[in-house]
Amino acid sequence: MNEKKQGGFKLTYVIILLVVVLLFALLFVDFGNNGTKLQQNEVFDMINGTYTNEEEAPVTPSYIFFKNGTGYILVTDSRYNTNQVPTYSDYYFRYDQSFLEQLRTVLEDGQHDIAYDYAPAGMNFWDILVPILYICFAIFIFWMLFRMVKGANSGAMNFGKTKVKSYSMTKVKFSDIAGMDEEKAELQEIVEFLRNPKKFTDLGARIPKGVLLVGQPGTGKTLLARAVAGESKVPFISISGSDFVEMFVGVGASRVRDLFEQAKKNKPCIVFIDEIDAVGRQRGAGLGGGNDEREQTLNQLLVEMDGFEPNEGIIVLAATNRSDVLDPALMRPGRFDRQIYVHVPDVKGREGILRIHARNKPLDESVDFGVLARITTGFTGADIENMLNEAAILAARAGRPKIIMEDITEGINKVIMGPQKKSRLLTEKERKLTAYHEAGHTIVAKKMKYCEDVQEVSIIPRGHAGGYTMSRPENDDMTMSFNKANDTIAMSMGGRVAEELIFKDITSGASSDIQHATKIAKAMVYDWGMSKKIGFLSLGDSTQVFIGRDYQTKNDFSEKLAGLADDEIMSILNNNYKRAKEVLTENIDILHELAKLLLARETIYKEEVDMILEGKKTEEIVKIMEEKERKQKEKEARLKTEKENFDKLENYKRKIAEGENLLKMGIITEAELDGIKKGYVEFEKKIKAPKEPEAKAEVKEEKKEPEKSEPKKTKKTENKNDEEN
């Protein structure tokens, strides 16, 4: 508000100054008058050529007019005659050679009593106004450009100011967060200290100066920080780590100082630095040495957090997903005293997150949060929010009043693999190849004991894949057993094996499967110690590479051991390929039937896969699926009708309320209002009228009619059918 007022005052001053300049200039404007009288000899000198041009005229530029007994006679060009009495504005004509010749003619005439009056070249109002307007326009353009530059750069000398986002109070509470009970319990102490610091200081306790939130992207680190501010009801100052970085030397350190100066003015408060790894990386790391500017910024941050001057009442929260690259001095007690690891939510946490994000979304009764929580293993809070948003968009696209289970499952697939590419034209050979490929994956997964259960199979291209087999774990088992690893590799080989068995050929469609299987086999040998020949030995490093610290690395094992590890990886892959081939060879009939079903329906789910394994035929399963779709469409149509009826009833209620107001104002009569109420009552009776008994009666009549009319024919038909069977 102060900036707006200040800017308004400046603009007012500019306008007042311009008005004063304009009035001052108008005081010195000569609008033309009769001026001084010229002598007759001066006029004749002009005519005779003594003054033949404007530069040599006594007064330049000048206007000359004549006066007789009846009025003014203007001598100019042919547009005027000597008998014309001109207006005041007609006096303003410049003296030129043509004018002198006409003047000579008048003087030689000798019939005019001529007084030779001289009027100087007076300026009119527009002669002074137009230049001033140009100047004003130039000043206005300059002022606008100055404001634009100031807004873009926050002033030419404000580089050292922090680009903070300050929130006096956030509305996020701990109740808005699910799946992070332990993390919220850790941060609750921060909230208690900010609310009641005496409770801790009386016991000699010191509140942590800094809390570092570590976790994968999307797990809710920023949301947790805002919830702490919302619960404690203190100012929340947010800034990104990249905002400290600038091309000018010393700007980062200056912005750190300014950040904490603002925090001191608003204490107690919370300072939140997002992506702190942008400014808090380990010093001295990097190719060719460290970055002096970044290190100066980090040094200033270290001093501000735990220096000579105490920052009581200021709690620093920071978030990162790369805690391994942070400087050790930043991690010590006294700076970031606590490190809270925000993990990917488990099945219980995912169910809670689903319920929170679904609060403002109309869901169908078929939506089961428990099932969704089990099949979304590995999803973060951001993934779940995005999944439900995609489901809502899909439901709106289809014109459904509520979100159904199929919309959410499709949203899961979009988050994982991208949208379907139904417009892509596939040949019948490509569709058949994809169907057998995905059927191979599915059967091996169902026959292997330790494989994750198959949830969905499709031959519709999605993302980079021509088809997919979606298998999701039923629990949150974070460990990988030896048997599960081998079964997962065999499941990955199932598609390639099916191509080899059916088509006697292989394609490049299994490239991603091979990469996945190789990655697991390599981890078994290098990281997990699951090789019999190598044993309990780690050959790799699972951490991410930090350029500068880990750039020049070398293997800590011999070439012989590396060759042995490669042999073990090949052995694991070959053995599981054989296992997958044995399973598909034994279940070749099921493979054909499942591929047939995929060609007929393109996308099937867990229920249909189980039906195939139970021995049901494709035709029977297709009928079941069509009947299910028909019931779903009827349900959607019924829900749509109910919504429309509800909207109409609400519209009637609104009209009745408006009609009562209009009746009080005398605009409508009571009879007109009664007509509106009558329409509401009739429509309400219409939509509440029972329809099911009538339908049942019709069904009974249809059953009775054939029995009475043709009882014998019906029995003969039944007997005939029995004989045929």
Report, as residue numbers or ranges, the catalytic residues.
438
DSSP string over 665-722: TTSS-HHHHHHHHHHHHHHHHHHHS--HHHHHHHHHHHHHHHHHH-HHHHHHHHHHHH
Strand partners for 212? 318, 339
Cβ-Cβ contacts under 8 Å for 163 (sequence gap 6 or more): 154, 239, 243, 255
67: which DSSP letter?
E
User: For residues 425 and 497, is the Cβ–Cβ distance under 8 A?
Assistant: no
One-letter identity of residue 148: M
* Per-residue b or e along 14-49, where b marks 16 or more CB atoms closer than 10 Å to that residue's CB: eeeebeeeeeeeeeeeeebeebeebeeebbeebbee
In the Cβ-directed half-sphere of 104, how many Cα atoms lie within 13 Å? Answer: 12
Find, among 297, 207, 215, 318, the residue nearest to 248 by Cα.
297
Q: For 570-701, list the strands marked E by DSSP.
A: 603-605
**Cα dist from 78 to 84, 119, 148, whole Å:** 12, 21, 56
Residue in the structure block whose two tokens are 């709106």: 396
Angle at 320 between CA 291 and CA 161, to 5 degrees: 60
Secondary element (H or E) of residue 115: strand 115-120
User: For residues 459 and 495, is the Cβ–Cβ distance under 8 A?
Assistant: no
Rounded Cα–Cα distance for residues 442 and 438 (Å): 6
Rounded Cα–Cα distance for residues 130 and 134 (Å): 6
Cβ-Cβ contacts under 8 Å for 712 (sequence gap 6 or more): none
Q: Helix or strand or coil: residue 48?
A: coil
Cβ-Cβ contacts under 8 Å for 39 (sequence gap 6 or more): 116
Q: Is 256 exposed, middle or buried (0-12, 13-18, 19+ CB in 10 A)?
A: buried
Tell me whether strands 72-73 and 603-605 are parallel, antiparallel or unpaired: unpaired
Q: How far is CA 205 from the centre of its chain?
A: 43
Rounded Cα–Cα distance for residues 589 and 437 (Å): 15
